[in-house]
Amino acid sequence: MNWLENIGRFTMKRFEQTGDAMMLLWQTLKQLKMINFLHVLQQMAHLGVDSLPIISLTLLFAGAVMTLQIADVLVRYGAQSTVGGIMAVAMGRELGPILVGVVLAGRVGAAITAEIGTMKVTEQIDALRVMATDPVGYLVVPRVVACMIMVPILAFYGVVIGIAGGYFVATAIKGLSPSTYLDSIQMFSTISDFTLGLVKSSIFGAVIALVGAYKGMNTKMGAEAVGFSTTSSVVTSIILVFVLNYFLSSALF
């Protein structure tokens, strides 16, 4: 019977955490009307602009290696005129949003959790409450809004970089003509392939920020607890990004 009790405790704990997360989401939505745009701009610079180097490297080589894998197969069957189009659709719909989401879950989500978790451990969040400042409005809302704005921008940038990486491999290594690659992008891809991918990216950004804030604000006392919350935030965010990606792709495409 012990294992049944353990399963019951585990299930109840997960229900409690889900309820707390929903309450944080509701409080965040209520605080949106009192948003501090200066804080949002600061978070956009910190969470978004500083992520450009890692996004550039990740998407550049992702586009290059995907083209490296598919170009030979398509050329073998006489479909070399579809390489650029396939790359553009794949990057715009899936690879761009999902890779940017995973990378930022590791970088941005961890940073949010570590920062807010340290404030929780050092009782700075309690100090905000003493000064009649809502921690959700001061700490959570600017990060959520900044992520919802910057993640789609980074995803679009990543899609362009990925397509450019594919272009280099296709033309310089696989011998395709530049016009063939670029013409296939215009032929097989549509604007919705990119805009709907950006919609997914915005939702991923909100999830990453909310999970990071939730884990940070529920950090237990002690330096070790901050590390545990940070790890849990990254793992949870990545899992949610992949799960949401399936349902969003099913609904949007």
| Amino acid identity, position 177 | S
Instruction: Tell the burial category of 134 from Cβ atoms under 10 Å away from its Cβ (0-12, 13-18, 19+).
Output: middle
**Tens of pLDDT, residues 177-193:** 888 888 888 888 888 88
Q: In the chain, how many H helices and how many E strands?
A: 12, 0
Beta carbons of 163 and 64 less than 8 angstroms apart: no
pLDDT-flagged residues of the chain (< 70)? 1-11, 13-15, 17, 223
Compute how many other C-beta atoms are within 10 angstroms of the C-beta atom of residue 125. 20
- What pLDDT is recorded for position 10? 56
**Tens of pLDDT, residues 99-136:** 999 999 988 888 899 888 888 888 888 888 888 778 88
Closest to 114 in 3D by CA, of 25, 28, 228, 3: 228
CB-based contacts of 91, cutoff 8 Å, min separation 6: 59, 63, 158, 159, 162, 163, 166
